[in-house]
Chain A
Amino acid sequence: MVDNKTILDTIERCLGSEMLSYAKNKNRGGRAGKKGSCYEDYFLAYKATEVAAGLLRQGVALENWPIIGSQIPGFVDDVVIEMADRVEFYQLKNATRLSWHGGEHPLETDFSCQYKLALELGLTSPRTWLVVPSEELRSGMSDTMPQSIAAHTEVRFFADKAVLNRYVLENTELQEHLAQLTSSATPKLDDLVAAFGVVMLAVTKMAEQGGCLSELLEATREIYPYQIRSLVADMGQHIRPDFKAILDSIEGLQYSVERGFFQWNGFGTTGVFPVVCSHPDFGAFQALIMRKRPETFDDFEGLL
């Protein structure tokens, strides 16, 4: 992602000092307003989830994952996603009424300036998005979109559900995306909500500096270690044969390594070991099992 100084210098050079001043004020206001601006945070988390799910489905290598940022200096600046073949700029307006032309700084001007700025910065195929909380407003803003920005602008509907639970419960598309990220391949609804929650916490803390999406997802482990799947394949190699032999001899116990996590079940009880298999704590757990050599499910469960 282009550094802030370069962005600000480019704004002054190609758009003038007044627009530079406006951009700086907008950025300061955006950062100040962002604290508790949940609609923007939920959308940022949604986009991170949506993009990450697509990349995981396609098996894209982590080094090719996009950069994601929030409140980067500019004019369409709530969410910025920089991919290999395009850059997307999102502006959220959690409003019931909007206009492209109204106010001291019309949206049309913001979107036009952002596009010019992106081209000056040499960014590939920039696109600008307006995000609104009702389908009616989306339709209205699409119908009245000025020709000057139509080639690179779209309007998107993203409902304001107010609480984490309802964002997930009432959006099956989001559920499908989250199911790509969870530590379980068969997540329950609460797993999806928890995953969305930790993604939101991670991206809202870190996106202001801009960061690779894969790193942001890995950063969720600092918030909560086991909600998001491992992005590294072949965690099964960390399971020791003698550990497996002990578990295989326990009647009723089934286990697997799924998405980097040791998952177990037996006699109506299911659980996940709270860190990825490559973590030293899991190594310590394996050592404990090999030392204690549990023979029954109850004995195994007592060591968790």
Chain B
Amino acid sequence: MRIFTNYCGNDDSTRRLLNQLVELKDPQEYRNCMKQIGARLAQSMLPALNQLPSSVNICVICTVEDADFLACGLVEALEETELGNRIHFMCMWNDKIRDGEVSISPIIREYKEELNTNNVIFIVVKSIISSACVVKTNLMRAISHVNPQKIFVVAPVLLKGAEDRLEQEFPVEITDKFEFVHFATDDEKDGENVIPGIGGSLYELLGLGSSKDKNHYIPTIVKERRKKFFGTKQAALA
């Protein structure tokens, strides 16, 4: 059963987007929908973000599969506000190992923009949070770089209990910084997939292939931001 949260707001448009998402099978339509949901997540966070001191940096942390769609929608929506010039971006390529009770999501590649300050808040965005293994890992990586003032954990859908599962992984001085922002809580799973969740296997629905294939994908947002922040030479066109 699904329960929508107050972050959906007073109109039905966010709920309609989530309901639409689980029905879409065409990757391009699915991608577009995810991007719109990302923008809605950004709008939901604006009241909290606008209360931050104007000097605070914002670091958006996402996975490779979410980068060009959910995360891009969120970043672009924030860039349209006066928060736009304070945004940094981190993208992780995660592998997955699960054996019994041990579940780990090793990071095999990372894109990170320079952030030499602890005057930062994190927005960890994920299309769906179920076991919280990937979010836990990527948050650990981000904390290795800087010590944030606040950590927003943001997703369209959470599996019931995901907040507790994530909080159990960290000591209280970190979990005290958590604020969860999501539109719906689902309480059922069918094997690996949350029901209705985001409609099934994310990589396949986004047209990224298998869990192995998606780690060969290089997001457009990464390439563009890399050019902007680091400069990069492209191969001369033949």
Binding site for B on A (CB under 8 A): 36, 38, 162-166, 169-170, 188-191, 193-194, 197-198, 200-201, 223-224, 226-227, 251-252, 267-272, 274, 294-299, 301-302, 304
Contacts and interface: CB of A to CB of B under 8 A. Distances in A.
A70 to B, nearest CB: 16
Given A198-B104, A223-B97, 18 more contacts: A36-B100, A38-B101, A164-B104, A165-B140, A166-B171, A188-B141, A190-B137, A193-B104, A197-B97, A251-B233, A267-B226, A268-B112, A268-B226, A270-B110, A271-B109, A274-B108, A294-B235, A298-B223
A194 B104 contact: yes
> DSSP class of B's interface residues: helix, strand, loop or mixed?
mixed
A189 B137 CA distance: 9
A193 B140 contact: yes
Contacts of A267: 226, 230-232
A302 B218 contact: yes
A128 B137 CA distance: 37
B95 interface: yes
A19 to B, nearest CB: 33
A269 B110 contact: yes
Interface string B208-238: 0000000010100011001001111111100
B99 interface: yes
A266 to B, nearest CB: 8
Contacts of A224: 95, 97, 104, 106
Contacts of B102: 164, 197, 200-201
Interface string B148-165: 000000000000000000
Contacts of A299: 235
B169 interface: yes
Contact of B108 (A36, A38, A200, A271): A271
Contacts of B112: 268-270
Contact of B216 (A163, A193, A198, A304): A304
Contact of A295 (B222, B226, B235): B235
Contact of B137 (A193, A200, A270, A271): A193
B143 interface: yes
Contact of A194 (B99, B106, B229): B106
A271 B223 CA distance: 16
Contacts of B26: none
B111 interface: yes
Q: Select the residue from B106, B108, B111 with max chain A CB neighbours within 10 A.
A: B106
A252 B112 CA distance: 15
Given A190-B137, A304-B216, A169 B104 contact: no
A268 B137 contact: no
A189 B236 CA distance: 39
A189 B223 CA distance: 26
B232 A252 contact: yes
Contacts of B108: 226, 271-272, 274
Interface string B97-124: 1011110111111111110000000000
Contacts of B168: 162-163, 166
A50 B79 CA distance: 47
